[in-house]
Amino acid sequence: MRRGVVRKLSLWAVGGVLVTVGAAAPASPSPSAEPDTAAESTSGSQGDTRRESANDPHQKVPVAVGRDGAVASVDADASAAGIEVLREGGNAVDAAVATAAALGVTEPYSSGVGGGGYFVYYDAKTKSVHTLDGRETAPRTADSGLFVEDGKPLPFADAQTSGLGVGTPGTPATWKAALDNWGTKRLRTLLKPAERIARDGFTVDATFRSQTKANQKRFEDFPATAELFLPGGKLPVVGSTFKNPDLADTYEELGRDGVGALYRGAIGRDVVRTVNEPPVDPESDREARPGDLSMKDLRGYGVKELAPTKTSYRGLKVYSMAPSSSGGTSVGEALNILERTDLSRASKTRYLHRFIEASRIAFADRGRWVGDPAFEDVPTKQLLTQKFADSRACLIKDDAVLTSPLAPGDPRHPAPCGTRGKAAPTTYEGDNTTHLTVADKWGNVVAYTLSIESTGGSGITVPGRGFILNNELTDFSFAPARPGVPDPNLPGPGKRPRSSMAPTIVLDEHDRPKVALGSPGGATIITTVLQTLTGFLDRDLPLVEAIAAPRASQRNAAQTELEPGLDPEVRDGLEALGHSFKDNPEIGAATGVQRLPGGKWLAAAEKERRGGGSAMVVRPTS
């Protein structure tokens, strides 16, 4: 597809199978956890206890090197599903779909059939990057007052756990579009590993139990959610086996009938019914507001194939997601701001100071200019020019800190150190997304970030289907930020809420992959990807160490969020400049792959965040 062209991949059914209109034929492959280890027995979906073994091929390791392909995700079972597909001759796209489906089983509070995401693909044969926008959309009846009641914005918690916050799911359509364009295997085949995990079960870890406990109060209010995730009214036990037969059946149905089962069929009807009549326990006092989703919304859903954002940095080409996500524009703008500073020679204090200030500026500009381009005039190209970045970079001083909230600049008319109008504050985004990164033996690469927004999404499980619905529409601004301040992220009919997801692929001067990565974390995704990239590219950290480094996240706020572990002297130096910090125990959970000489790949994941990630390769080497 020509760059610069936006193509909506419309979905329609033929003989019960969903078809993507205008898509190319399938391509051939080119030659912090709660330390609770309670051992009480449970019932329902809880089964026999498994014990981890050092010889378990699914045991988590944060880095792996080898040939014939690599997978990195937050979960060992999911990474193993992708490796299984690669071993059987599938390409990176096939493996990414299989890994994502498995994450829908083992990371059900972060992703799944009921959510959406963004898919970035590097085609080794054509040396080109393509992206899919599989973001959820608001119902056709939604307007700017979607979350306004009695003239006031709803409290976030009321919108989160409701039908109002649920957008039309985009994940199954994204799998379909990716496979139609670039895959080599059928969806039915690729769902089999996930279906098997759902039927046979996976081992509960401390993170899964902790996330369940954090949601226990609202899960208890929905019988289908409580039955699945709180069997017998109890939390899942660390080390036990968790099964989800309803989700296994859902995957089997999607494999047999195609994703039309969701967008035109029985699964979709169940979703619509659940959104519009949230099945609250009659004995609960929770008011779960109904949504207004229809089968027309599902039938009209389309994945968008977009030109990626592109930024030049240190002679490399950085590709990511264009709006509706702000990830590509914000990471790209910040990199352009940092381009003029030699970060490799800077002290750690100066490096982090510059990184924090570039993040602050990028978020100021994102808040004013980025929304769904189908509804808003988004100056994507201008946000990524070096001229605009230079006009903003001159605000940064080495001996002082910018004051937040910082007003935006004007990318269409850059003025040195110029600002325009009033600042738009950063809207809240749920932080429990997931990211996976895959490479294959032909050199194809996928960076895929997918989500159901908050940890546990809406909290509402579709009865009999085994998956939780998203609350992605709460990523919209509930009301204008300030009188007279334009807000491109208000709700609208069929509109995609702004996201921060930033799946990123970096190419070298020969258009070959150097590194690919991404992270969950809501709005902190942008700062996590930016910090990991600069740590790897500028500070010469090994990829796994760039991922593990203590993170800072500045999002045009008075305080910068900071993880523990930063050298106290560095923190003192930053505070002496005027930085103010707010402690955050855990920011993001990144994964990545790196191309090595001789046809090898390195897969990297977290060492500790979310209990550690899982890096795997097809044929390990030293």
Cα–Cα distance measured from residue 256 to residue 288, given in angstroms and rounded to the nearest whole number? 33
- Please confirm, yes or no, whether 433 is among the known catalytic residues: yes
- Cβ(592)–Cβ(187) below 8 Å: no
- Cβ(485)–Cβ(424) below 8 Å: yes
What is each CA distance from 184 to 91, 122, 546, 618, in whole angstroms? 7, 15, 33, 18
CA angle 249, 254, 256 (to 5 degrees): 90
Phi, psi of 133 (to 5 degrees): -95, 100
Cα–Cα distance measured from residue 605 to residue 482, given in angstroms and rounded to the nearest whole number? 40
Return the bridge partners of 116, or none. Answer: 451
Q: DSSP for 115-183?
A: -EEEEEEEETTTTEEEEEEE--B--TT--TTTTEETTEEPPHHHHHSSSTTPPBP-HHHHHHHHHHHH-
Which residue, chain included where needed, has tokens 């959406």?
A: 116
Three-state helix/strand/coil letters over 66-82? EEEEEEEECCHHHHHHH
- Cβ(133)–Cβ(499) below 8 Å: no
**Count of C-beta atoms within a 10 Å radius of residue 88:** 12
Task: Name the token pair of 171.
Answer: 């994940």
Task: Name the token pair of 497.
Answer: 């809420």
Cα–Cα distance measured from residue 337 to residue 340, given in angstroms and rounded to the nearest whole number? 7
Return the bridge partners of 325, or none. Answer: 499
- Cβ(277)–Cβ(166) below 8 Å: no
Cα–Cα distance measured from residue 212 to residue 228, given in angstroms and rounded to the nearest whole number? 11
To which H or E segment does residue 94 belong? Answer: helix 92-106
Catalytic choice (168, 212, 311, 433)? 433
Displacement of CA 473 from its chain's centroid (Å): 15
Cα–Cα distance measured from residue 259 to residue 174, given in angstroms and rounded to the nearest whole number? 10
Q: Which residues are catalytic?
A: 433
